[in-house]
Chain A
């Protein structure tokens, strides 16, 4: 099975079909590769049954017998693995055993087949002409063109009908696309809205309201609007910065309660939950694409692909001392979209 043991075939090759219009048209000359002499008289076809009926160990019964035993060994391995698999399954199944047994079974079968084909089945390498299967000759091409032309001329004679057909097809096709719209709701204002609003209580994962004192200095908690845990747009992180110098951005005065600030948890880049909080540097990091936000600077992006700050949620305390949002988010949360700005 290596290139060097190609069959020693006689010089009775069939002549190359030189009528291939394809190659002539392109003026393609056969290229030389590996410095092989093109004049070497290689036959282009090997008469069937003459040279390719030999098999590897034909003249060596001893080796053939050995090969037979090897193949039998492989296939018996498959047999045993198959039985083993069935037994494993019946007694309750075990994934690792199943995998190993299936693997042994398949590989035994495969290796046996390879040895069988290599050692005991006919199949020396043969050479044949590629023929002209890739291309048709000139007359066939012309016949095809004529057949096609049967309609083209009449069509060209009636340009009005042809154009009308195009128009009708276009309009009708467009009309047929309309049902695509029923695949989904229109976005309307939903991308601008969250479940937060004036006076909505801030709750934890178990829908329990929180007090400002619940969040320790350097603490972080994922919070939700009361009864709004299922609103994917509303998840928020509550961070207690303690005495760290927090930069109150213009327009956000009074949105924090002491060191307690709340920002949208949805990354302004690709919408992943911005969860990693570094309490030393007061940075929030998104685990998806490593956008980094400086909480002290109003969650301004300082690294990574995000280009907008995380929106801040204005916080307040209600009469019972629980945290509420004094009003909802003042800008759309999450990643950008065409109509956002």
Chain B
């Protein structure tokens, strides 16, 4: 990709507060139009990284570029971006229309054009009727849209989103996820999104960076990071996983037979016999099978949790816990009882070999 098409570039960015290192040598290239998410638990450095792009934090080391311009030492108000804050930060003393027009006013856009563009931005988020209200007279969802309109009206090179859906209830959040993504696709605005909600990140992003202790553990498209997690942290933070220690016994073409301690399994991974591996298998990729079928492991059902769409079954396999998610499509999923003896197995390709840390 040509260098000019990179809208945000972080080069070896680090940030320390007192003795705590919040961000360690993070490098990211975000191409134009991408919806890029930074995902991780609180304190992982995702918000600090966003604030470094915004210019609210100065990196201790490294460089920040927006649209090819080095902005590391440029104050926030001279950087080409806008931001939606977690608390929305709508100005309480200004009307909705004045809030949306604020960025245009700061850019000294003339009054008539300012009003027209603010109105257009409000139309875009379907709030045209509320222009003369004050923020406190709006619901959480409406405030969220105003914040979005206020950020988009200035046509920024980059849109920064700091957990903008965190303050909304679940139902509204899911609606806004779809709406926000559609809007972003239509406008083609390069977007950096910070969240601790893995589902949100998976739903919305072109690419996700999973962060931990100030380091990007893995970066890639949602499907890749979910299906092929590289570390135990990624595999467990993004969805749930079963982890097993495995030792390679023999190679069979592109697959290998492994000793799991409680039986034999297959993985789609080639390594020399005797190699110790750590593997992860997603609970929804594990199948329950009739007792004693070849290539399966015997277990007993310890707990059943009915979750509507799925049923979570907790197995006891020789003293270790194995979690299985069953879709509630087949009547069989609902037929299991606690204490039943079952067998489970997975397809070789669904066992992911993790990096040894």
Question: Are the chains A and B members of one assembly?
Answer: no
